[in-house]
Structure 1
Amino acid sequence: MTAVTLSRWQRLRQSDLWHSFVRDKVAMLSLLVFVLMVCAALLAPLLAPTNPYDLAQINIMNSELPPMGSAGSDPAFPLGTDAQGRDMLSTILYGTRVSLLIGFGAVVLQSVLGILFGLLAGYFGGRVDAILMRIADVQLSFSTLMVAIIVGAVFKASFGNLMFGDIAVYLLIFIIGVAEWPQIARTVRASVLAEKKKEYVDAARVMGFGARRIMFRHILPNTLSPILVIGTVQIANAIISEAALSFLGLGMPETQPSLGSLIKSGFDYIQSGSWWITLIPGVVLVVLVLVINLLGDWLRDVMNPRLYKG
């Protein structure tokens, strides 16, 4: 087992991907920051001083305390508190976890839909391609925010805010995932159109393999590079979409912190001088999205032979 692990590690160390990564300081720093933020979010119950979901740990008398170094700050709250008296450090850790969960969950859903529809459209062509691509065109004519606003508003009006809060995470994953699948479907379709004309696909047909096996066992592995690149960028887009919807009041409720809901909860208090309630979660959101986009740009350059210069 050890020998296999070492051989795989050695192959990775000798690959162009690794050499490109170690020479790109921006990519290395971006990955380091991203891993630290993911680890901090996953370990939020262990790292956070308090649990923002536990009302017994929240004291309204501690509301709007400034961060350390400011007049009136409390050492127990290094990043200050929000209007509800919650520790900002704790809410940011838990909120980052929620935002990452929505981002990754939405991309997984849109990847499943996009890969499936892209494979079907590119491999079978004809009427199947025409129908699926027209559906994608219609879907692209509506922005993600528009779809989310309509669905969220209808759901709230039909089932109330209480039930919406209970399933807000899953609803946002569904909305963002369904709204963005055409991006991946078009990418997969273009790759499949190029791959299905190659000799290995003809050989698979001659050997009697069915369409499903050819698509998923032979063509799909050769289309993963563009999917990985666009999927990385889509994670950042999904996190931004969640933040925008939460800011509009159609995302995560303020009682369940996400980066978007934290920014919204402090927006009304900026004029009163409580700038940290919005600014600190906003900075965390910007850094998170920035490092993901930088990693996506690096992957695009490395995996595109026309752009990668070695």
Structure 2
Amino acid sequence: MSTPTTTTSTPGRWERFRDSYVWYSFKRDRTAQLCLAIFLCMVVAAFASPLIAPTDPYDLRQIDILDSELPPFWIDGADDRYMLGTDAQGRDLWSIVLYGTRVSLLIGFGAVILQALIGVTFGLMAGYLGGKTDAILMRLADIQLSFSTLMVAIVVGAVVKATLGSAFYSQYAVIMLILIIGLAEWPQYARTVRASVLAERSKEYVDAARVMGLRSKRIMFRHVLPNTLSPIFVISTVQIANAIISEAALSFLGLGMPETHPSLGSLIKAGFDYIQSGSWWITLIPGAVLVVLVLSINLLGDWLRDVMNPRLYKG
């Protein structure tokens, strides 16, 4: 007589995530829910701007200088065609804010990806290999930290413009800003990852991998790196906000995006001269969008930092 066998199904990824503390904390935190909803709405609206924007700000045929400095819909003298009014060139402000937010997000995400690629690789090597490798890479990080993003932008911009011309810099401004911000901020990742790797490399699973004869490269990227992802996720949220702020600051100083392909920073700069004339919306509306975007990312980063801190785990 055979006895019935019981089979237990392995929970899937969604079931494990639904039972995790991250999901439990997110369901109870209204601020995190609101910030994530705002951030996702802004990302979707920005990248869907060619579909939802009333006009194309890059198409000169859709721009009429006679429609310049029209106020938003809640102010007398507004035009029904332009919900948020127009800028000094007659462009629909709602449309250029959508396109500008997309540019700022592209630069923010692109710069953080570059920072992570450089910083995580250097941090892994410094923390795991130690010795001279650690000393050399950390001294490079110290040297890099002594140069601000603004200083790097001035030097790189001056060299590129003198060598290849201002037209080249303006045409590839997005790529240039990603390179500038990415290369200026990678030590943040390197230092964070190095500290995590120093705590992980002395654990038993790393010793077991060495005994099995695995190469150092595989141990670093296949075994140590997955156990350092929590601080990487946390710092990434902060760095995205920092990259967007850096791009806005550089554009405001004339070292970023040109007015023909605006970002939030260049929109604020373009409208700054018109505040005294009464056309405050040209700069304040993009400024408000920038503040809401950065604030939502920072609050999400604060929540994620608290959730992934084991000392704060309440069970």
TM-score, shorter chain, exceeding 0.5: yes
| Long gaps (5+) in structure 2 | 1-8
How far the C-alpha of 1:165 sits from its partner, in A, is: 1.1
Give matches, 1:143-222, under 5 Å.
143-222=148-227
Distance (Å, rounded) in 2 between the aligned partners of 1:61 and 1:103? 35
- Residue 77 of structure 1 contacts residue 89 of structure 1 at CA under 8 Å; is this kept in 2? yes
How far the C-alpha of 1:301 sits from its partner, in A, is: 0.2
Q: Which residue type is aligned with residue 189 of structure 1?
A: R
Q: Which residue type is aligned with residue 137 of structure 1?
A: D
Distance (Å, rounded) in 1 between the aligned partners of 2:82 and 2:288? 18
Q: Which residue type is aligned with residue 123 of structure 2?
A: G
How far the C-alpha of 1:231 sits from its partner, in A, is: 0.7
Distance (Å, rounded) in 2 between the aligned partners of 1:264 and 1:149? 17
Aligned to 1:260: 265
More divergent stretch after superposition (55-64 vs 279-288): 55-64
Distance (Å, rounded) in 2 between the aligned partners of 1:40 and 1:224? 29
Distance (Å, rounded) in 1 between the aligned partners of 2:198 and 2:42? 38
| 1:245-282 deviation digits (Å, cap 9, x = unpaired) | 00000000011010000000000111111100000000
How far the C-alpha of 1:294 sits from its partner, in A, is: 0.4
| 1:123-161 deviation digits (Å, cap 9, x = unpaired) | 110000000000000100111122112212332233222
Match of 2:275 among 237, 257, 270: 270
Match of 2:68 among 63, 68, 71: 63
Aligned to 1:283: 288
How far the C-alpha of 1:162 sits from its partner, in A, is: 1.3
Secondary structure of 2:12's counterpart equals helix
Distance (Å, rounded) in 2 between the aligned partners of 1:276 and 1:161? 30
Percent identity between the aligned chains? 73
Aligned to 1:307: 312
Match of 2:56 among 45, 51, 56: 51
Distance (Å, rounded) in 1 between the aligned partners of 2:132 and 2:156? 30
Aligned to 1:101: 106
Distance (Å, rounded) in 1 between the aligned partners of 2:257 and 2:270? 11
| 1:189-225 deviation digits (Å, cap 9, x = unpaired) | 0111110000000000000100010000000000000
Distance (Å, rounded) in 1 between the aligned partners of 2:40 and 2:203? 39
- Residue 149 of structure 1 contacts residue 245 of structure 1 at CA under 8 Å; is this kept in 2? no
Distance (Å, rounded) in 2 between the aligned partners of 1:94 and 1:209? 48
How far the C-alpha of 1:9 sits from its partner, in A, is: 2.0
How far the C-alpha of 1:308 sits from its partner, in A, is: 3.9
Distance (Å, rounded) in 2 between the aligned partners of 1:13 and 1:273? 52
Distance (Å, rounded) in 2 between the aligned partners of 1:145 and 1:219? 34
Distance (Å, rounded) in 2 between the aligned partners of 1:171 and 1:186? 25
How far the C-alpha of 1:7 sits from its partner, in A, is: 3.1
How far the C-alpha of 1:291 sits from its partner, in A, is: 0.3
Q: Does 1:36 align with 2:41?
A: yes
Aligned to 1:223: 228
Distance (Å, rounded) in 1 between the aligned partners of 2:200 and 2:156? 37
Distance (Å, rounded) in 2 between the aligned partners of 1:80 and 1:158? 40
How far the C-alpha of 1:163 sits from its partner, in A, is: 1.0
Distance (Å, rounded) in 2 between the aligned partners of 1:110 and 1:254? 27
After TM superposition, the score normalised by the length of structure 2 is 0.95
Aligned to 2:5: none
| 1:7-56 deviation digits (Å, cap 9, x = unpaired) | 32222111100000010100000000000000000100011000001111
Distance (Å, rounded) in 2 between the aligned partners of 1:126 and 1:204? 21
Q: Does 1:295 align with 2:300?
A: yes
Match of 1:21 among 17, 22, 26: 26
Q: Which has the larger radius of gyration?
A: 2
Distance (Å, rounded) in 2 between the aligned partners of 1:268 and 1:309? 52
Secondary structure of 2:311's counterpart equals coil
- Residue 153 of structure 1 contacts residue 250 of structure 1 at CA under 8 Å; is this kept in 2? no
Secondary structure of 1:86's counterpart equals coil
Q: Which residue type is aligned with residue 188 of structure 1?
A: V
Aligned residues: 307
Match of 1:83 among 85, 88, 95: 88
Aligned to 1:121: 126
Aligned to 2:255: 250
How far the C-alpha of 1:68 sits from its partner, in A, is: 0.5
Secondary structure of 1:78's counterpart equals coil
